[in-house]
Amino acid sequence: MGFCTAIRKKRPKPSRNSRIAKRSKRRSQSSEKPTTSKPKHKDPPIFTRKFKDKDQFLATTTPKPISRWLLWHMYVTHQSFNDEIFRTRTINKVFAPLAFLTHCVMLWHFSDGTTRKFLSKLLRVEGFYAIKSFEEDFQRYTSKFIYNEVSNDNMISMCNKLFITDKLVLKDGFKAATKAPANIQILTMESDKTGGFNQLHEAVLKELRKACGSKFAVGNPEKLVRAETKMLSIVGTCVRAAFDGETFKFKKAKFMCYYGVRQLEHPFFIVNGKFSHAVFSGFEAWSMPLTQRSPCDDPSKGSTLSLVLVRPENLGDILELEHMDNFDRIAKAIQVVSHREPKRGSLLLPFIDLPYHSEQHVTYGVTDLTVNWRSGFTPSVVSNLSKAAEPVSNIPPGLDKLFHCASIRIDASGITYQGSNDPVPEESNLPELSVENSLKLKPSKSTRHDPHSLSATTRSKRIQRMASENAILPEGIARKQRREKLQHFNGRFDSPFLFYVVDLRRSGILLSGCYGGRPALAASDFRKPANNIQLKHVPNSVKQKGKRCGVC
């Protein structure tokens, strides 16, 4: 029995002319189809990267685009982290973006010359807004903050004051602009014989403490007000809020400042509550809601705040993360975690008290920004506000001082500021968090000879069964104790991180900054490359591959 196979004939090879005709026909058909134009802009790197799992893909998608107001806030915030704008000795810093932006926009409208160029470069409003839409957003977001004094009923207190001498004549347009959208208070001080208000530093200090707390002070009054001072500004923000969850005490642990640096014992505490979490390329973001400390009848003072913590994946990337080039990525992270559904979890947070103060340094939370600007750029950087006031003896008016006042204190009770009258809970009074399978007590000397009484301290069920069957256990095995059951946290902030206090209702940033331990290192220390021995020590805050927490 055989098989019949059919022989397929080969097709004749088409000629060269027929191939050219088919090719020209396909080209003509493709040219008739409508072409879709590609977008001119390129997506940021966070969208073009490859995703490892589904959670990372969901973390980079939001139900709506980023608010321009939040994006502009984040741009100026990260640009102000530069040492030429906001100079600090270490990486620890606290900044009040909303109060600072409100004041700088007012100066930007009424400045000219070098001052106008500097403020335009600092704010860069044209890169995010058209002038008409910017004025609408600026009036909508800033007109609701009217808290100018610190009180027990205020969750937010903003200081935005301008002190001038009676010799300086302000223009009508400047007065109207400071009252309507920005709520900037203009206080006229009586001048002395020299035309300034050198002897009135106590009055300025009184207004400063009334708006920013009793601890805000300047050790040398000559640094606050000088004889030639004619225009002085004070901006700042105070926040009083509590965590929406339970807090527990924790033992002192090591805070990893940098690779190869000696780790010091740092106080920590535990927060149990509902948190939102998202993982991005190179960093992760956590968000926790904040509630009001004292009850209030006004619904406009309700809980709209959230504390956002951003931690880099690698310890040495903290300076790169706070750089101006990553402002859009952080704004995207804040937008993502604010829209994600919170889940139950626990965080290990350090006790924070910024700026760090001591008995030798009696200036708390007061930074003269004009000194930094004059030394970093040019002495005439804020010396021309000709549209705000009339010139005095043919000299255009300028801003002599711009004091920035901001502090933050994070403890088990929540977020406060330095000098707050709220009671600070002691670490010993906090409740302890019960841990399952904790470390068992060591056997006493009187019971070490009895192997049957050591079943609770052994770490093997087989040894426990042998002890219950009256078997003779070797002394070395009987004396072994169980290993300590480490406490599990969904997030451990025992390395440098960024923090933001965000108003979710208005998409504004009230406080921002960086914390790198106590005492913190300078920015130059983070630019030194680590050797191979230092890289072998992995900090506890770095996640191990293959492990997933219950929140993310």
| Helix H or strand E encompassing 203 | helix 201-212
Q: Is pLDDT above 70 for 287?
A: yes
Q: How many CB atoms lie within 10 A of CB 498?
A: 24
Express each pLDDT in 398-450 by its tens digit: 888 888 888 898 988 889 888 777 766 665 556 665 543 333 333 434 444 44
The percentage of residues in the chain with a pLDDT greater than 90, rounded to a whole number, is 10
Express each pLDDT in 148-199 by its tens digit: 677 777 788 888 888 888 878 888 878 777 776 667 888 887 776 655 565 6
- The answer to whether residue 495 sits within a structural domain is yes
- pTM of the prediction? 0.74
**Distance (Å) of CA 94 to CA 193, 385, 434, 524:** 38, 28, 35, 19
- Which region among 11-20, 128-137, 513-522 has the lowest average model confidence (pLDDT)? 11-20
Tokens at 168, concatenated:
């300086």
- The answer to whether residue 26 sits within a structural domain is no
Sequence-separated (6 or more) residues with CB below 8 Å from residue 517: 255, 256, 257, 264, 266, 496
The pLDDT assigned to 467 comes to: 74
Sequence-separated (6 or more) residues with CB below 8 Å from residue 467: 451, 452, 454, 455, 458, 473, 478
Question: Which domain range does residue 305 map to?
Answer: 49-420+486-544
- The answer to whether residue 141 sits within a structural domain is yes
**Distance (Å) of CA 353 to CA 35, 269, 294, 365, 424:** 59, 14, 22, 11, 12
Express each pLDDT in 243-276 by its tens digit: 988 888 888 888 888 877 767 788 899 899 899 9
- The answer to whether residue 187 sits within a structural domain is yes
d(CA 448, CA 457): 11
Q: Distance from CA of residue 236 to its chain's centroid?
A: 16
Sequence-separated (6 or more) residues with CB below 8 Å from residue 234: 159, 160, 161, 163, 204, 207, 208, 211, 212, 403, 405
Tokens 């003072």 label which residue? 301
- The answer to whether residue 19 sits within a structural domain is no
Strand, helix or coil for residue 284: strand
In total, the chain counts a number of residues equal to 552
Q: How many CB atoms lie within 10 A of CB 284?
A: 20
The pLDDT assigned to 82 comes to: 82
Give the pairing type, strands 508-515 and 93-95.
antiparallel
The pLDDT assigned to 527 comes to: 74
Higher per-residue pLDDT: 217 or 315? 315
Average per-residue pLDDT for the chain:
74
- The answer to whether residue 276 sits within a structural domain is yes
- The answer to whether residue 270 sits within a structural domain is yes
Note whether 167 and 189 are within 8 A (CB).
Answer: no
* Domain count for the chain: 1
Higher per-residue pLDDT: 520 or 76? 76
Split at pLDDT 50, 70, 90, the class of 511 is very high
To 5 degrees, how large is the angle CA 461–CA 468–CA 474?
A: 75
Note whether 278 and 299 are within 8 A (CB).
Answer: no
- The answer to whether residue 109 sits within a structural domain is yes
Q: What is the CATH number of the domain that holds 91?
A: 3.30.497.10
- Which region among 58-67, 99-108, 489-498 has the lowest average model confidence (pLDDT)? 58-67
d(CA 280, CA 58): 10
Express each pLDDT in 46-101 by its tens digit: 333 444 444 555 555 545 678 888 899 899 999 888 878 887 778 888 999 988 99
